[in-house]
Structure 1
Amino acid sequence: KDLLDDYPPTTPEIDCVHARVSSIPSLRLSRFTELKRLCLRQNTISKIEDLPGTLTELDLYDNLISHIKNLEHITALTSLDLSFNKIKHIKNLSALTNLTDLYFVQNKITTIEGLEGLSKLRNLELAANRIREVGGGLEGLEGLEELWLGKNKITEISGLEGLQKLKILSIQSNRIRDITGLSSLPHLQELYISHNALTSLHGLEECKGLKVLDISNNQIERLEGLEGLEELEEVWASYNKIGDFNEVEKVLGGKKGLNTVYFEGNPLQLRGPAVYRNKVKLALPQVMQIDATFVRVS
């Protein structure tokens, strides 16, 4: 049976999700002369082949692909999703200079490589791989705005110097002990660094535009380092070792845009859970949400 029987030959988009497709050639895609977006999620495809050169978006999420190849002719491609596959090496992408979004979540990648020349890349997703260091693999990606590196084995933040336009950095669930290497990111707005081994926030001083900071599940005792970050709107600091309401007030009290704070699981909550919310309200009267609960306006 022809899975794509219902699509007209000029269709710009094909969705063939969870359809037991094991090979791309069996779909005979060459008959669709104007195909732009192809989604083949959740199939059993093991080989990239026989794809039309007209594509701008290709989604092969959750298949059995172990090698990136046969994409060189699809030079108009802007979005490529190879998440949840079996890829060990990033390669054969250099011809795809129009790529803006690239997804490799949950593969077996150990090294950031093969991204040379992708100067239009805006969003790079490498979460849940086996990466130990950032290294020099991001050089030349001056357009990058979002970098997702959560759930790897990274021990230090480095190699981000050229990412002048980076707005979002997610590096949660790694093995980072110190915040370093962020002073070269003038436009950073969101930093997700929960579930690491941080003991202090020194290293954030230069991130003057930071709006969202998630430092939950670390070993942080003090909020020193946040004093000059006047743009902060959300601070997620649950499950640390913060114990001093006076310091919370001193460091965060003057930040007018601050609307959300999370402090549950810290000594300042565990020591007196009944009075905790009121004490946070007194320290930070501007805040609209404490932990998962909105502040009632009386």
Structure 2
Amino acid sequence: MSAPAKENGDAERRSPGRHIELVEDDAHSERADGDHSPALTDSKGWDGKLRLDRTALLQNPEAISDPEYSDDENVLPGEEISADEGKRFPNLLNDEDPETEDLALIQSRIGNIPALRLERFRHAARLCLRQNLIQHMDGLSSLGPTLQELDLYDNLIAHIRGLEDLTNLTTLDLSFNKIKHIKHIDHLTKLTDLFFVANKISKIEGLETLVNLRQIELGSNRIREIKNLDSLKNLEELWLAKNKITEIQGLSGLPKLRLLSIQSNRIKDLSPLRQAPQLEELYISHNALESLEGLDGNTNLRVLDVSNNMIKSLKGLEGQKEIEEFWASYNQIGDFADVERALADKENLTTVYLEGNPLQLRQPALYRNKVRLALPQVSQIDATFVRT
């Protein structure tokens, strides 16, 4: 039921909402084949825009091109599908086995779900209607007993209605729509994966009863505060890239949170991360960091991405004994002795990204050899593997 396969097969398998296209860095594809989460950033530091097929024709192109996309006057109205024209839609599914568990109609100009007569498919577990012209989610109730995954990525949905009977859903993807408020999903208590990338959401709300959530993706919205998450005791991954967040807060009630993506926000202080000592992966590139101090309580970090900040020193990494990947490109790091002092004792370290820092820009011809001498344990420096 998912969209066409991408380079990152692991990400494709993990969830329908995480479609990452690797575009900026050859090293990303190397990383994506490993055990960690896939590469996340483009040149602007946001992961959400990379979850697109290069050839995709977006129904909401404003969500990509306009950073302030949200106002109704800037959004093209949905194309109205007449009742007569709607009669053609059943033909799209005539070749499907009535016993199938997977239904997918992508870029099919569908605007009328009831016209699909989905009641014919009594065993449907996964429904993908990506990149259509859907404004209303009515016509889904007949799938309530069996439907587990619903993908309505890139449509024209403004209000969450019509999901009342879909109580068996475990995955819901409403990314790239026009949703302003998270409402009317509190009864979907079996949800484990929830995606709202590129909507108009300004407040995290309406999630209190979704205690089985494992991951939630809220990238590219208008969120200013991390709050109302304390009941989500099973949450493992929180994706908040490209919002308007100035302070890390609201994590103390998330005992299983292992991954936080908060790229392209306005964060200056890392010390609130002590609320989440169990964190294993932190993606905080493209913020306003000047220091790495404040990470002393996060000794379980394996992956740390602080690229595109204003960091001058690696002081603060002393306790990161488990670190495996350290991404710090395009900061103000200028001292190889500082790199050696902070990272030489990290036995598990395999990957470092330091390009675009003064220590690379001053002597580009000698840069890689100096990193190798300082960190003999690493197997990858920036986009290139180290030959042994």
Q: Match of 2:365, SS?
A: helix
C-alpha displacement at 1:178, in angstroms?
A: 1.2
Residue 178 of structure 2: which of 86, 111, 127 is its match? 86
C-alpha displacement at 1:207, in angstroms?
A: 0.8
1:59 matches 2:148? no
| C-alpha distance in 2 between matches for 1:9 and 1:262 | 51
C-alpha displacement at 1:5, in angstroms?
A: 0.5
- Who is 1:22 aligned against? 111
Alignment check: 8 A CA contact 1:156 1:180 kept = no
1:171-182 matches, cutoff 5 A: 171-182=262-273
C-alpha displacement at 1:243, in angstroms?
A: 1.0
Residue 134 of structure 2: which of 19, 26, 45 is its match? 45
1:195 matches 2:195? no
| C-alpha distance in 1 between matches for 2:278 and 2:230 | 17
Per-residue deviation, residues 117-158 of structure 1 (Å, max 9, x unmatched): 111000100001111111x22120110001110011111111
- Who is 2:234 aligned against? 143
Per-residue deviation, residues 68-96 of structure 1 (Å, max 9, x unmatched): 11212111100000001000000111110
Per-residue deviation, residues 248-293 of structure 1 (Å, max 9, x unmatched): 1111000001011011111111111111111111110101111111
- Who is 1:75 aligned against? 167
| C-alpha distance in 2 between matches for 1:217 and 1:108 | 26
TM-score by length of 2: 0.75
Alignment check: 8 A CA contact 1:105 1:129 kept = yes
Residue 275 of structure 1: which of 345, 366, 372 is its match? 366
Q: Match of 1:181, SS?
A: helix
TM-score by length of 1: 0.97
| C-alpha distance in 2 between matches for 1:9 and 1:59 | 20
Equivalent residue pairs, number: 296
Alignment check: 8 A CA contact 1:149 1:171 kept = yes
C-alpha displacement at 1:180, in angstroms?
A: 3.2
CA RMSD of aligned residues (A): 0.9
- Who is 1:226 aligned against? 317
Residue 207 of structure 2: which of 111, 115, 120 is its match? 115
| C-alpha distance in 1 between matches for 2:230 and 2:287 | 25
Consecutive unaligned residues in structure 1, runs of 5 or more:
none
More displaced 10-residue stretch of structure 1: 175-184 or 214-223: 175-184
Alignment check: 8 A CA contact 2:190 2:210 kept = yes
Runs of 4+ in structure 1 deviating by more than 2 angstroms, as ranges, are: none
| C-alpha distance in 2 between matches for 1:269 and 1:220 | 15
1:243 matches 2:334? yes
- Amino acid in the other structure paired with 1:47: H
- Who is 1:9 aligned against? 98
